[in-house]
Structure 1
């Protein structure tokens, strides 16, 4: 079987509420979901989710190749764009195509991707994370009550500008989840809003009121000394990595012992997550994938020994997508459909009205 072509399309996710973080809010709660469909001469189609704006530039590295050689093709894509840079849109495109390649590989084997990757258990522990920065306190509680009904014992709250407000909201979410656990896991995400000169002081103010499992992206993603200062100055673990593109960007953070939880963005693909997981495992650190539509990295998370918990952001799926998975018992129970188990209804997507943006 050989790769013959691709199709790109875009659907939307309708959150039904404002979504965002300290860096900005999408008031109408409608965001775009780019999709790339990788075609073969054997009739199978691979599904990849995520920005693929550079697909015209990257696809020649795959054309005519056997899709089963996923990791070799991943490196081939990186090499193909090396001279002009693999970060940003290029790395996102490589991630989306890599996801489609893994989908094809498992489909060719006639099994779900979690089995292809060697997982023994289809259940993936998770935590709730609603991008709820714009919600008032009552709406925040209502949102996480729905997650508590699904058995979740951990949740993440966005903040960064007003730590007194943040602490109050963290306590409220913790109390919601106490229906399932005496000591729920509570994570605090400030999305790089602080400088190193203020991060420890502000984090400690929050820790006076709530026991944090981790604080996420307390400083800029590249600030090794800042991450290290926070790690040394607070009780909770420091989590970061979702915006890092390539193992070389993790190296200095890990060498400085600046992270307690290593994260990887779902939009950067499955091979990237697997490699980040091995890098973290070599330092006895847990790994946690950051969420994306239809939770494609859950298959890979099920297969790595140092997986801690996968972020889940919504109980609904984007328009025109279905996925063979169940969100229950505090995580994701993956099904037996071949590949990622994600189906794309192109006719439904074509008939939709309206568009969304993360801009």
Structure 2
């Protein structure tokens, strides 16, 4: 089997997160082969500032794999990323490589007749999920309605973000978290994502104040490069610490694990470069007995979390799901995966054309 061409389409999808409206570029690829098996993959960036650069990088990486056997995934990943060593690995390169890497795994699944979750290890055919769209910077009554609505939709875990409350007095933070707990009770898991904006001392002070609410985790409490600071937070708090999404390769996750700075390791498949690198990150975390959680792209990432023995939970942030049919089915907080070969997704061509940009 040989790759005959890689087709690239860029879409820009409107997004609403809390009170914030934005547009998100999603670059979709279709990798075609000489035996008629096609693979679909995609990647994204959160603003339109670099959409042309991302599209150009995906196209150039696609040129690297034409003529190759799509089943030689490790070989093709190396072929895509190695030339960038001169200008620096990671960054835009990894995000672009993700689209092609996903498409290659889709081809391998279709060629073997296996769904992706089984192809990657087959530990389970489902994954727990959490909904990730509430910002704490709203009135308590608004937060309560938002949280209750998500539970009514079938979610059993919810993540909140402070936004305007990042620097608020501790009693204000506590009041808002208490309001959400009152709305959803303690049968629903609750996460709090700080997005690297607290100092270690503030994270410890606020974290202690929030311990009564039994948070599932406190996420990215301080700067991603401050491993010692985060380890101090993890040692000081009973609240589990989750971190890792800002790192661009499995090796960079090792200091977090060695320092015992995380209870749960969050992996961003786009920043890592796709499914190929996720597998390595998950295996690394397993060697430290640390569960892994996913960041974004649940339509594919749910397969990865389900497949590995230390897969904990997948984030349901449905930024790009609008483009696809065949999504995992949500029931009582669990994403159920199908037996369709590959990742099981098909493009909704009319939606792709609606949001397509040149």
TM over 0.5, yes or no? yes
8 Å contact 1:273–1:289 — kept in the other structure?
no
Counterpart in the other structure of 1:33: 26
Counterparts of 1:128 and 1:49, CA distance in 2? 21
Q: 1:185 Cα shift?
A: 2.2
Q: How does 1:147-166 map to 2 (within 5 A)?
A: 147-159=150-162, 160-162=166-168, 163-166=170-173
Q: For this pair of structures, how many residues does the alignment match?
A: 342
Counterpart in the other structure of 1:9: 9
Q: Could you tell me which of 253, 258, 262 is aligned with 1:255?
A: 258
Question: In the superposition, relative to structure 1, how do residues 285 and 154 fare at CA in structure 2: closer, same or farther (>3 Å)?
Answer: same
Q: How does 1:62-77 map to 2 (within 5 A)?
A: 62-77=65-80
Q: Could you tell me which of 287, 290, 294 is aligned with 1:289?
A: 294
Question: In the superposition, relative to structure 1, how do residues 59 and 320 fare at CA in structure 2: closer, same or farther (>3 Å)?
Answer: closer
Q: How does 1:192-271 map to 2 (within 5 A)?
A: 192-207=196-211, 209-267=212-270, 268=272, 269-271=274-276
8 Å contact 2:43–2:96 — kept in the other structure?
yes
Counterparts of 2:38 and 2:179, CA distance in 1? 45
For the residue of structure 1 that corresponds to 2:221, the secondary structure is coil
Counterparts of 1:9 and 1:167, CA distance in 2? 45
For the residue of structure 2 that corresponds to 1:66, the secondary structure is coil
Q: How does 1:124-203 map to 2 (within 5 A)?
A: 124-132=127-135, 136-159=139-162, 160-162=166-168, 163-178=170-185, 182-203=186-207
Question: In the superposition, relative to structure 1, how do residues 38 and 161 fare at CA in structure 2: closer, same or farther (>3 Å)?
Answer: farther
8 Å contact 2:141–2:179 — kept in the other structure?
no
Gaps of 5+ in 1: 20-24
Question: In the superposition, relative to structure 1, how do residues 353 and 169 fare at CA in structure 2: closer, same or farther (>3 Å)?
Answer: farther
Counterparts of 1:254 and 1:198, CA distance in 2? 22
For the residue of structure 1 that corresponds to 2:167, the secondary structure is coil
Counterparts of 1:49 and 1:170, CA distance in 2? 35
8 Å contact 2:10–2:356 — kept in the other structure?
no
Q: Which moved more, 1:169-178 or 1:254-263?
A: 169-178
The root-mean-square deviation of aligned C-alpha atoms, in Å, is 2.5
Q: Could you tell me which of 99, 105, 109 is aligned with 2:108?
A: 105
Counterparts of 1:214 and 1:65, CA distance in 2? 43
Q: 1:298 Cα shift?
A: 0.8
Question: In the superposition, relative to structure 1, how do residues 335 and 139 fare at CA in structure 2: closer, same or farther (>3 Å)?
Answer: farther
Counterpart in the other structure of 1:22: none
1:95 pairs with 2:101: no
Counterparts of 1:342 and 1:47, CA distance in 2? 8
Q: Calculate the TM-score normalised by the size of structure 2.
A: 0.86
Q: How does 1:296-307 map to 2 (within 5 A)?
A: 296-307=300-311
Question: In the superposition, relative to structure 1, how do residues 317 and 78 fare at CA in structure 2: closer, same or farther (>3 Å)?
Answer: closer
Counterparts of 2:28 and 2:342, CA distance in 1? 16
For the residue of structure 1 that corresponds to 2:196, the secondary structure is coil
Once the two structures are superposed, what CA deviation does each residue of 1:105-143 show, in whole Å capped at 9, x if it has no partner? 101122321122231532211122115356544443333
Counterparts of 1:113 and 1:232, CA distance in 2? 37
Q: Calculate the TM-score normalised by the size of structure 1.
A: 0.86
8 Å contact 1:153–1:177 — kept in the other structure?
no
Q: 1:154 Cα shift?
A: 1.9
Counterparts of 2:139 and 2:2, CA distance in 1? 52
Gaps of 5+ in 2: 45-53
